[in-house]
Each structure stands twice: as C-alpha cells, then as structure tokens.
Amino acid sequence: MTYGSAWAAATIPVWVALSATGGVHAEAARALQVEVEQALPGRIDWRVAHWSSFTSAVPEPQWVVAIGTAAQRGMQDLFARDTTPPPLLSILVPRLAFERMVDPARLRAGSVSAVFLDQPPWRQLELIRLALPNVRKVAMLVGAESKGHLPALEKAAKERGFELAAAPVEPDGLFEALQSVLPNADVLLALPDPAVFNSQTAANILTATYRRQVPLLGFSPAYVKAGALLALYSTPAQVGVRGGESLRLALTGKALPAPQWPREFVVAVNQDVARSLGFALDESLIGQQLRHKERP
Amino acid sequence: MLSRRLFAVLSAPTLALLSSSAGAQEVSEKDYFDELPVVLSVSRLAQPLNEVPGAVTVIDRDTIRRSGARDLTDLLRFVPGFVIGHINGANPIANYHGDFDALNRRLQVFVDGRSIYSGLLAGNVSHPMMGMVLDDIERIEVLRGSNSAAYGANAFSGVVNVVTRAATDVPRFSTSLALGEKGIADRSVRAAWGDERLAVRLTAARSGDSGFDDVIDDKRVDQFHLRADLRPSAADDVMLTAGSVRHQWGASDMLRSENWRNVFVQGQWRHNVDADNDVRFNGSFDEEKFVDQVYYFTLLGVPRPYRADGTGRRLSLEAEHTTRILPGLRLVWGGQLRHEEIRSPDLFKEQTALTAELRRVFGNVEWRLGEKWILNAGAMWEDHSVVGPHTAPRLSLNYHVLPGHTLRFGSTQAYRMPTMFELRGNWQTPSLPGSLVLASGGIKPERLVANEIGYVGEFRQLGLTVDLRGFEESGSSIARYFGGYPNDVVNKDRYRKRGWETQLRWKPRPETQLLFNHTVLKIRAWATGDTHISDELSAPSHTSGLVWFESLPAGFEFGLSYLTYGAMTWGGKNDVLDTQPRVDLRLARRFKIGGTQAEAAVVTHSATGSYQEGDPGRYFPRRTFATLRLDF
C-alpha cells in the first residue's frame, strides 16, 4: 500500500500508542488528533490506547503514532517481523532515545519519522544570546547519554561565537565536575541525562550554580519552578500539534517529513531568581524575539 | 565452594541492580516531565543589592584570593567607611565610621549565621575575627550601617556576614604555605570528601608572624574547622560546623603570656515547607577562654604572678520562618534565645559564674509596591535579663528610578546592649590598691538613630557599578569608662556623624578589575573636657582606596591596592596619627602541575615603607612574603 492510497479509503485506521495513559502523553495525543481532525474531519478511525494493549499486528493500521519512548519501542517490537510495517510517527521522544531505537533502514526509507521533545542546539544558544547578552562561556555537565548532543552544540556555538565547556560527570563525580566548570562559566546549559540531572542531583546543581551566581538554563518547566533562571521547552500540546501537522501532510498524500524539532516552544523565567541575580527578563518578550528570529 | 556460592548470592542482585540502573540511565521523556522540588525558594534567594534595605559591600572569593590579605580585618580595608587599626601587630581591629575606643564592640560579625564575639572581653570581635581561614570563605557581605532590626543589638554600627565555602565547593585536597619577612609563616591543609547527601570539609591551619618592629607582639593562630553539609531530602539541608581557634600573642615576652581560645559547634537546619514557606533552625554553642598571665615585681624585687583569666560560654537557639503572604509581600519573622555565662574571678571579683539571658523576637516585611518601589519594614524586640526590653525599628524604601538605577531612603534606631563587663566588671591591677574598673551596673544600652540616602547604579555596558551612601548617625548614651579611679561604666556624651561614602567597581574588560572607595566623614561630639576632641578624631575625615586587579597572559596576575587615611586617633588627642598611605602589591601565577592547580605569589604589604597604625610608636612594617597554594 502506498501512502496515497490511504486517501481512497473511507476511513483511515490510525493507532495512537501511548507510553502512559493520561498525563502528558494523552495531552500530546489529543493535540495531534485535533490538528488532524481540523483538516480531515471524521476521516480517521482513531484507536488511542496504552502501547501494551496493541497486542496483535493485525488488522494492520495504515498509520501508527507512538507517543513517548516506551510506545515507540513497543510499536517497533510489535511490527518487527512485518516486512512492510505501517509507517510510524514517533513524537514526544528525545532525539537521542529516538535515534537509539530506530531502524536506520526504515529511517532512510522514510517510513519512520519523529517530532522530538528536545530543543535544537541553535535555539538554545540564540536564547542565551537574547536573554543574557554578556554570556560568552557556556558550560555543560555531560554524562554518557548527553555527550551525544555535543557535536551539534559545538557547531552551533562556533557559528555564534560562544565558547563551550563540557565537564564530563563520572559516577559520584558531580561536585568535581561542577567545581571544574563553574568558576569560568557565564551560564550552565542543562542537557537532559538521567545520570546527571535528576531529582536527586537537581538540588545540588541549583544551589551550586546559584552560590556561584551562574544562571542555569533548564529544559523543563520543573527546572524554572525549582530555581533555574530560565528554561526552554516545548509543551506536550506543542509537540502534539507539530506531530499532527506531519501526519496530516502524510495523510494527504505528501511524503512523511524527516524527523524534526518542535516548532513551538516556551521560554519561562523564574522572576525571583532573576531579580536575585540582578537580571531583568521578560519571558514573553524574549519568547517573541526568539520566534521572530526563527521565522522573521 | 563457599566463596563461589557467596559470589552467586552477591552477584545476582548486584547484576540486576546494574542492569536496571543502566536502563534508567537512558534519556526518555520522563526527564522532561519529572517534577522537581523547589530548591531556590524565595527565602533562600538573596535580595539583590538594589533591593536590600541598606548599603552592602560584597567581597567575593576572587577578591579574597587576589587581595593578599592574611586575615579578615585586612579584607575590610576594601569596604568604604571602615577604619582599620592595630592595637599591636597581633591584634588588628576594625570598625565602621570610628568607635571612640579600641574595644571593637560595636560591630556584628557572623560566620555562617553564628554570631562571633567575645562575651568575656567586653563584646570584642577582633579575637574571633582572627579565627577563620580566608581560603575557606566563599564571600563576605558587609552591611554598612546599623541594622539592629534584623540582627539585634550587636549590629550597632555594621554587620559583617561571612559565608564559608560548602564542603562540596572546595577541591578534594588543598594545601597552602606562606613564608616571608617579619616571621611570616602561615600554613594550612584542607581535605574534603562526600557526595550529594553528605559532604565534609576539614581545615587545619597555623599562621604567625613576629608583628611590628620594637613591640613584643609576635602572633600565632592555630585553628581547626569542620563543616559538614547534609541533604537528607530535597526539601531539607543541614549544615554542621565545629572548630577551635587559639589566638596567642606576645609569646616571646618572658614575663607575660596571653591567649584567647574558642571552641564551637553549630547546627543549622533549613526546611522547605512549600513554594512560599521556609523554616530555619539554628543552634550554636561557644566556649571561650582567655589567659593573661603577667609577672610583676614587688617593691622588694620579687616576681609575682598576676592573672586576668576567664571563661565564657554561650548557647544560642534561633528559629526563623520566611513566608510569602502575597506575590509581592514577603515576611521573615522569628525568635532567638541566648544564654550567656561568664566566669572570671580576675575580671569580676566573683567566684561564681555570671549569667545573662537574651530573648528576641523579630520580623521584617519586604513589600513590593508595583514595579518601582520596595518597602522594607522591620523591628526587633529584645529582652535582656539585666537591662530589660528594648525595641529597634527600621524602615527603608527603595525606588527603582530606571532599570539599573535605584535610590534608597532609610531610617533606623539601634541599641547596643551592655556587655557583662560593662555591667559587672571589677578589675584590679597589682600595682594599685582597689579597683581600676568597678562597674556599678547602672548602665543602659547605647542608642543610635541613623538616616541614610543611598544610590545603587549598574551600568552594564560599561561594566561599572556605583554605590553611594549619604548618612547621618546620631548616637547618645555612649558606654564610657569614666570616673578616674575607680572607673565606673556610665552612659555619657553624644555624637553626630555625617558624611558620604562611595564604592565604584569597574570591569572595563574581562582582565581588568578596578575598585575605588572614598569616604568623607565629619564627627561632631558633645562630651565633657577634651574628650570631644578625640571623639571627633576617632575616624579619619576622609579615606580613599584604589584596588587594581589585572589578569596577565600565561596565568600571571597582578594586584595593587592603595589606601590613604586622614588624620585620626585611637586614643587621646595627643596621639593623633598623620595622614599616611599604604600600598600593597601582589604578583601571582596560576599554573597546572599535572592535575594539580597551583598558585604561587609574592605579596608586599605596605610597600612604600612602614606607617603608623594604632597607637603612635606602633608601625606596620613593610613585609614581603611568598605563598604557594596547591589544589589537588
């Protein structure tokens, strides 16, 4: 079956496999469905459920949307023996997780795509430039997982005249890494890595950076609430909408777009921390400026 | 066989753990959506300098490192309005805007929230200020001006708040050595270990020098400090400190030996209740011992010992609650209990211990009135078991004229509670019959009313910050030793200090840092006899300072500080010191030896030659010394 032939069918069976029922996954799913339904009202036969309740690969859907890491893995496993598996769109998944799981052949063939949850390196650096114009040295704590982000960040930093300093975090070596990187840092860019940034270490990282007056750029609203100066992230709904756009394009006969970053994002500022560190930051203005930079 | 089985038993869960943790180490969307506890809650955030209800100078780690200073008093030279002197080479003293005497009893000094002063020696802070290792200090916040409403009676003229480095912020192992002229020999070792849940640092240090020329004032300070930082949960952090300090001077004097010793333990627990509520509990115990033994000769030429020893103990318990009532309204309130016990038959002619209790309740609101105005209003009620209750209020209004430009208007009233010696002292010397000091106990707290206008400006493009403070400080009921023979301690005389002071910090480029201080101070005193003359000269009419730090290529660093004081006296009107400059120089190089960070430096204090400090005849000598610090 070709993608185009799906158009001919009366209703198109689409599975939406959730990594967890409810919560952020359901929120992304709803946003995706709404986006598609607006363009193709009533045309889709949605089946939205926890990934584990899709126990049989038959009757095969025309499209599979996986929401989250567990769902992507579950759906890939389910169709592992299928020589012509239905195309898979994975959303709300970190780039590194997606790339680790995906079958490179299917990716090349264009039958798998994704809308990542992370922010592109250039967006992170442009935000730093807008919000903290005096910053030259961007420090990072990297673990085995997040070091995968370094090449792209290095490139983006070079183009923008930033100096990157990445401190590798060994097991039990968080403080040494902080000590080595903070004295010369203008900002600490947090990169998701459960071995480095987790609920255990967040308190220590936040206090250590605050003590040194080094602002922290987090990757989730939780960081801003906890005490990061600012955060850049996309909400589940924003990722869902982007996923819906990709799916809509594919359903209307166009090729499945290549894996992409979420287009919409949120810049959040912790005003108490900003005031204490002596920054005057307007989160909505910075968000606007950043959006304008990307889409003038 | 046994060992193999044991291995099997051990390895199965271990492997399971390893594999499950390996799975957990991979990034997933969970990392983006996990909730985190509020770590930097409102009460843990420092007020920015332009919203503080007072003038604040911060001396940061880098300045401390590059200053070439060997003790805390030396660092206070960088703070506008501060007057630094020396009783002798072993006993530096510091005060804000002059103090009428060299007893050093009107400043409040905190180390990690623990008030340090000698209850035994008339509230003096100069001995405790010797008891810290500069390399253990993260930063020093100096509040210029009285702040009894927030810190209690001791915060009469100013507050020095020392924040030490957390165990997690220092290298695993550090050692430093300084050797040089005038017998300078300082050495320290520090070790730190631990993880996110518990981290400990231990410092042992000995410092010493031979003091001033022609004065028997050689000094040795031995100290030992421990700090443990615990984080039992994300909402709680606990800090434990303990230490001992021994400050000894004049050991080369055959006839006299003097030393001051202090041991302390302190615990602080901070708990984050929710996003808008924090509580803090602090408890500390201090014990101090003063030994002063001198041999005097009777009329027949027989040597006899004379002692002026004593022991002081104090226990302090404090609780504080910070709460955000409305988005723009924050309240800090709490209470403190302090028990003080002093035993010195030599200084009080009393065999039993003398005790005093202090109870305090304090509150301060920070109210944000729109974008431009911040109102800080606070008060402290103190009840001293001997002196009775007093209330110290404070009101301050900060106005953000433009972004980066803030005006401040403040008014406060402060009291200084009398010390035990001022209340009950009975001091006799062997050479005279009767008492030299005999306190009748009728003394009341000293009183101060201070009004100020401040400006804090930040010119980010230029890398310049400007701090300006104009003040009028009117004091009355000064606690004076008066009467001649014996001296009673009585409330007498009043004064008015008017002037302005400024500090400019300029970082024209990343390699250059300049600091300029200037203070103009006019003291008007009303006192009997000639005392008003020495009172009016108790601080220089002008003080200027310039500090220049330059980072050079290849890890070299250069530092220069120039300070000039106007004429002043630490004693009577006949002991006036002339205007004199002091120049300090430092050349350092930071380099790596393998994984070890090293810093070698040569420092010269008073490079242009010796100058008078303290009493006439006491000269701070030119001295050059070399330091080496290694961080492993």
Nearest neighbour of A206 by CB, restricted to B39, B171, B195: B39
**How many H helices and E strands in chain A?**
13, 11
How far apart (Å, rounded) are the C-alpha atoms in residues B429 and B467?
Answer: 48
Asked if the structure places residue B298 within a domain, the reply is: yes
B371 touches chain A (CB under 8 A): no
Contact by Cβ (8 Å): A78, A85: no
**B234/A19 CB distance under 8 A:** no
Query: What distance in Å separates the CA atoms of residue B363 and residue B375, rounded to the nearest whole number?
Result: 14
Measured in angstroms, the CA of B451 and the nearest CA of chain A are apart by 25
| Percentage, residues of chain B above pLDDT 90 | 66
Q: Are the CB atoms for B153 and B413 separated by under 8 Å?
A: no
Q: Taking CA atoms, what residue in A is nearest to B41?
A: A227
Mean predicted confidence (pLDDT) in B553-560:
97
* Mean pLDDT value of segment B197-219: 93
Give the up-direction half-sphere exposure of residue B550: CA atoms within 13 A in the CB hemisphere.
10
Give the minimum alpha-carbon distance from A5 to chain B in angstroms, rounded to a whole number: 34
A194, A207, A225 ranked by CB distance to B24: nearest: A194
Q: Between chains, do B33 and A23 touch, taking CB under 8 Å as contact? A: yes
Q: How far is B241 from chain A (nearest CA, A)?
A: 19
Are residues A193 and B51, on separate chains, in Cβ contact within 8 Å? no
With beta carbons under 8 A apart, name residues in chain B contacting A277. 48
Domain with B600 in it: 42-631
* Angle of the A236-251 helix axis to the A23-39 helix axis, nearest 10: 40
How far is it, in rounded angstroms, from Cα B273 to Cα B342?
A: 38
Residue B616 has pLDDT above 80, yes or no: no
Whether A206 and B138 lie within 8 Å, measured CB to CB = no
| Domains of chain A as residue ranges with CATH | 3-117+236-251 (3.40.50.2300), 121-233+266-294 (3.40.50.2300)
User: Hey, are the CB atoms on B27 and A202 less than 8 Å from each other?
Assistant: no
Question: For B58-88, what is each residue's pLDDT tens digit?
Answer: 999 999 999 999 999 999 998 999 999 888 8
Domain contains B5: no
The answer to whether residue B168 neighbours chain A at the CB level (below 8 Å) is yes
Judge: B29–A94 Cβ closer than 8 Å, yes or no. yes
Token match 């910090």: residue?
Answer: B505
pLDDT > 70: percent of chain A:
97
B613's tokens: 């400090």
The lowest-confidence range among A34-38, B465-469, B566-570 is: B566-570
Map residue B539 onto helix, strand or coil.
coil
User: Which of A69, A204, A220 is the closest to B231 by Cβ?
Assistant: A204
pLDDT for the residue numbered B257: 85
Which residues in chain A touch residue B275, judged by CB atoms under 8 angstroms apart?
A: 225
- Asked whether the predicted pLDDT for residue B368 surpasses 60, the reply is yes
Across B511-536, average pLDDT: 92
| pLDDT value of position B2 | 37
Closest residue, chain A, to B193 (C-alpha): A175
Among A93, A198, A199, select the one facing B29 at the smallest CB separation.
A93
Round to whole Å and give the CA distance between A292 and A286.
10
Per residue in B571-580, pLDDT (tens digit) is 878 888 887 8
In a domain, B35, yes or no: no
Confidence band, pLDDT 50/70/90 cuts, at residue A9: low
Confidence of residue B8 (pLDDT cuts 50, 70, 90): very low
Which residues numbered 191-220 in B keep a CB inside 8 Å of some CB on A? 195-196, 199
Residue B263's nearest CA partner among B222, B293, B229, B228 is: B222
In chain B, whose CA is at the least distance from the CA of A219? B32
Q: Which of B27, B41, B456 to mutate to test the interface with A (most CBs of A within 10 A)?
A: B27
User: For B323-337, what is the mean pLDDT?
Assistant: 92
Tell me if B30 is assigned to some domain.
Answer: no
Q: Which of the four pLDDT bands, split at 50, 70 and 90, describes residue A172? A: confident
B579 lies in a domain? Answer: yes
Chain A residues touching B199 at Cβ < 8 A: 175
Task: Please check the confidence at residue B152 and state whether its pLDDT lies above 90.
Answer: no
Note the pLDDT of residue B10: 37
pLDDT in tens, A96-120: 999 999 999 999 998 999 999 999 9
More confident residue, A280 or A219: A219
Q: What is the CATH number of the domain that holds B514?
A: 2.40.170.20
Q: Which of B237, B235, B238 is nearest to B272 (CA)?
A: B235
Scanning every residue of chain A, which has its alpha carbon at the shortest distance from the alpha carbon of B61?
A212
Answer whether A94 sits within 8 Å of B47, measured CB to CB: no
Q: Which residues in chain A have Cβ-Cβ distances shorter than 8 Å to B38?
A: 225-227
* Chain B closest-CA separation from residue A1 CA (Å): 32
- Distance, in Å, from the CA atom of A266 to the CA atom of A6, rounded to the nearest integer, reads 35
Cβ separation B38–A226 shorter than 8 A: yes
Question: Which among A118, A119, A207 is the top mutation candidate for probing chain B, defined by the most B β-carbons within 10 Å of its own β-carbon?
Answer: A207
From A23, which residue of chain B is nearest by alpha-carbon distance? B33
Chain A nearest CA to B34, separation (Å):
7
Nearest to A172 among B170, B195, B237 (CB): B195
d(CA B103, CA B117): 11
Whether the per-residue pLDDT at B321 is higher than 90: the answer is yes
E strands, B370-487, where?
373-384, 388-402, 405-416, 426-427, 437-438, 446-459, 464-482
Q: Does pLDDT of A71 surpass 70? A: yes
Contact B218, B209 (CB under 8 A): yes
Contact A226 B37 (CB under 8 A): yes
Chain A residues closer than 8 Å to B196 by CB:
174-175, 200-201, 203-204
B402 in contact with A at a CB cutoff of 8 Å? no
The size of the A-B interface in CB pairs under 8 A is 144
Residues B247-273 pLDDT 10s: 999 877 878 889 999 999 999 999 989
Cβ proximity of A232 and A272 under 8 Å = no
Angle between helices A121-131 and A150-160 (to 10 degrees): 40
User: Residue B488 has what pLDDT?
Assistant: 92
Query: Are B46 and A134 an interchain contact pair (Cβ–Cβ within 8 Å)?
Result: no
Q: From chain B, pick out residues whose CB is under 8 angstroms from the CB of A222.
A: 33-36
Assign 3-state DSSP to chain B and report helix, strand, coil percentages, each to 5. Answer: 10, 60, 30
Contact between B453 and B408 under an 8 Å Cβ cutoff? The reply is yes
* B275 CA: distance to closest CA in chain A (Å): 9
Per the DSSP assignment, residues forming a β-bridge with B601 are: B588, B627
For chain A, give the mean pLDDT.
Answer: 92
Q: Which residues pair with B466 in a beta bridge?
A: B457, B504
- Reported confidence tier of residue B325, pLDDT bands at 50, 70, 90: very high
Measured between beta carbons, which residues in chain A are less than 8 angstroms from residue B169? 175, 178-179, 208, 211
B9: pLDDT strictly greater than 50: no
- Asked if A273 and A230 touch (Cβ cutoff 8 Å), the reply is no
Which among B21, B25, B28 is the top mutation candidate for probing chain A, defined by the most A β-carbons within 10 Å of its own β-carbon?
B28
Collect all residues of chain B within an 8 Å Cβ-Cβ radius of residue A281: none
Tokens linked to B456: 């804090």
Question: Do B51 and A207 make contact, defined as CB atoms within 8 angstroms?
Answer: no
Stretch B164-173: mean pLDDT = 91
What number is the ipTM of this complex?
0.93
Percentage of residues in chain B with pLDDT exceeding 70?
Answer: 96
Rounded to a whole number of angstroms, the distance from the CA of B10 to the nearest CA of chain A is 21
| Predicted pLDDT of residue B572 | 79
| B156 falls within a domain | yes
Number of domains in chain B: 1
Structural domain contains residue B22: no
Say whether pLDDT at A8 is over 60.
no
- Note the residue count of chain A: 296
Looking at residue B21, its pLDDT comes to: 41
User: Is B32 within 8 Å of A117 when comparing Cβ atoms?
Assistant: yes
| d(CA A194, nearest CA chain B) in Å | 5
How high is the pLDDT of residue B153? 67
Phi-psi region of A75 (alpha: psi -120 to 50; beta: other; left: phi over 0): alpha
Report residue B197: phi and psi, to 5°.
-90, -35
In which band, very low, low, confident or very high, does the pLDDT at A200 lie, cut at 50, 70 and 90?
Answer: confident
Question: B41: which chain A residues are within 8 Å (Cβ-Cβ)?
Answer: 227
Q: Is residue B627 part of a domain?
A: yes
Contacts within 8 Å (CB) and 24+ apart, A179-183: A179/B169, A179/B170, A179/B171, A181/A139, A181/A140, A181/A141, A182/A139, A182/A208, A182/A209, A182/A212, A182/A214, A183/A212
Determine the distance in angstroms separating the CA of B114 from the nearest CA of chain A, rounded to an integer.
Answer: 19
Give the Cβ contact number of residue A60 at 10 Å: 15
Bridge-based pairing state of the strands B373-384 and B388-402: antiparallel
B237 interaction partners in chain A (CB closer than 8 Å): 203, 207
Most B CBs within 10 A among A25, A276, A277, hence the mutation to make, goes to A276
pLDDT of the residue at B150: 74
Confidence at residue B24, expressed as pLDDT on a 0 to 100 scale = 53
